[in-house]
Amino acid sequence: MDALARVHGERDEPGVLLAAVQSVERSLAGAAAAVFQVDPDAQIVSLRAAGPRWRTAERDAPAWLTRETGGIAGFARGGAASAGRWWRRPGATAEAVGSDIARVRIMVADELWGMLVVVRPSGDDDRGEDAWFIESLAEQVGLALRHAIERSELQRTLTASREARNRATREDRLGILGQLASGVAHDFNNALTSILGVTEWLLFTQTGDEDLSRELESIRVAATDAAALVKRLYYFARQKNAVPREVSSLRELAESSLDLVRTRLQARPDNDRPRIHLSIAADADASVEAESAALREVFVNLLTNAVDASPDGTDIVVRVGQEGDEAFAAVVDHGRGMDEETRGRVFEPFFSTKRSRGAGLGLSLCWSVIENHGGRIGVASSPGVGSTFTVWLPAVEPALRTPTESDGRVADAPRPAPGPSLAPFRPAAALRPAVVAATGEAARILLIDDQHDVRDSVADMLRVLGYQAHAVATGDEAIHLADAEDFDLVITDLGMPGLNGLELARALHRDQPELPILLLTGWGNHYEGRPPADITRVVAKPVTLETLASIVRDVLAGHPGRAR
């Protein structure tokens, strides 16, 4: 009874089998026991558990034991009721102590699972208590295995259910956060349009004061960086085409991210700098289609978290490779690690283990970026062992990648420093309009925006470019003015009281179907690459003077009939 209880007390398959062989060796004097699993066709036999005496017997008489246990497959296929019968070791005599062997089937849910094999010193017991015990134990092993399998399946179901629930919770929170982010991004884009417009207008017109120009250039760079940051918010809004993408080397993206983190670590005071060794290991390079800045931000975030989780120092490795049609990059550390509860919540918005040092949005942003790239991100972690965050992305053909200096196809040039780059402000002559009316007058542009600061700054940008800009606040005013005067181009905001930008475009095209109309909007990333009906082109706010000059010039050049 103690042996049977020990078998049923185990909760997993290895534990059940080990308890069975130990029970036999503990209960039968001199016996050695092992469990073999047999496949459904009884063609393949594998040792699954063995007692200490079995290991000794394997060492002392390997040839005999191999020959005897080798008959398991044939015995399992046989139909004779021979379970529990003892066989005398071949060649043994009454004067010489031999060994007996018993093979007993283990049945799980009426199907053959395997065999319990017991070897003991020869004796006179052929169908006695020892055989009965082995048969009963084999039957209970089958029941215990069935329970272990059912528990394992139930555990998998519970785990899948918990993961689905966590994912649904994360999706709901990210959805709410996405709505907030989208609205915030729109409002910031409008504000940045005014800042950039005024700054670049001043840079264009106030060229005599070098100190002022230097300060204005700093404002312009800060506003442009802020615009790039605002674009990241669209990932929370689940807009997959928020930022144009390019084919890039995953290894190069990881290396540039490592450089950024190294630079940040070196900037720390010596007494606050952990002993961190950063490296990269690439089985093979892989190419992905991605928004490089966003993907770098993901890797920098993962690396920074790895550093923070290793206050005593560690080796942090980024492993890059490709499996099938997926490229992967895994950030591996040997820091504090996470327990199961923390690991299950790590991608939730606003969940952080850094207390006052973290807002809990970094990994949520990583998750959104990777999901919007058609990939996935996962984590494996244990307390005291460390964590591995793995990013999986669809791989693309390396031949499609834009050549870089590391490919050896570009003239030797210094590699740019990591981080965003911004070309200096272009001189005035390069921004002059290319399309003017036949009379020599600049093209006439009708601008509509309900926010006066945005309207005034964009109008000033158009005028400094040499165009004739007429600005109004509503769609009704625009229709009235378009009926009274001829315009070569219309630039309109999207969200306005009364007629919105799309409704205005439809109304204008009823009388002037060839009139080009630009949609200049803080929601521009939503329409990128696919302008709606009646819209010639969508321009995302904030827009720089150079971008505005290029787009307006190209659109007017494509509609030469409009320039009278």
- Say whether 428-562 and 247-404 share the same fold: no
**Over 35-97, what HEC string results?**
EEEECCCCCCEEEEEECHHHHHHHHHCHHHHHHHHCCHHHHHHCCCCCCCCCEECCCCCCCCC
CA–CA distance, 160 with 166 (Å, rounded to integer): 10
Q: Which residue carries 């975030």 as its tokens? A: 301
Alpha carbon dihedral 429, 433, 434, 438, in 10-degree steps, equals -130
pLDDT at residue 302 in the model: 92
Residue 155 pLDDT greater than 80, yes or no: yes
Domain at 428-562, CATH class: alpha beta
Per-residue model confidence as pLDDT tens digits over 534-544: 899 888 888 88
Residue 174 pLDDT greater than 70, yes or no: no
CA–CA distance, 523 with 234 (Å, rounded to integer): 10
Q: Which residues 6+ apart lie within 8 Å of 550 measured at CB?
A: none
pTM above 0.85, yes or no: no
**Over 150-191, what HEC string results?**
HHHHHHHHHHHHHHHHHHHHHHHHHHHHHHHHHHHHHHHHHH
Q: Could you give the count of Cα atoms lying within 13 Å of 97 in the half-sphere of its Cβ?
A: 4
Q: Which residues 6+ apart lie within 8 Å of 96 measured at CB?
A: none
Please say whether the beta carbons of 175 and 43 come within 8 A.
no
Q: How far is CA 342 from CA 72, 162, 175, 230, in A?
A: 48, 13, 22, 29
Which sequence spans correspond to the domains of the chain?
2-154, 158-236, 247-404, 428-562
Just give the CATH number of 2-154.
Answer: 3.30.450.40
Per-residue model confidence as pLDDT tens digits over 449-458: 988 888 988 9
CATH superfamily of 247-404: Histidine kinase-like ATPase, C-terminal domain (3.30.565.10)
Per-residue model confidence as pLDDT tens digits over 383-428: 988 999 999 999 987 644 444 333 333 333 333 333 333 445 554 4
Per-residue model confidence as pLDDT tens digits over 453-504: 889 889 988 988 889 999 999 999 999 999 999 899 999 998 888 888 899 9
pLDDT at residue 211 in the model: 77
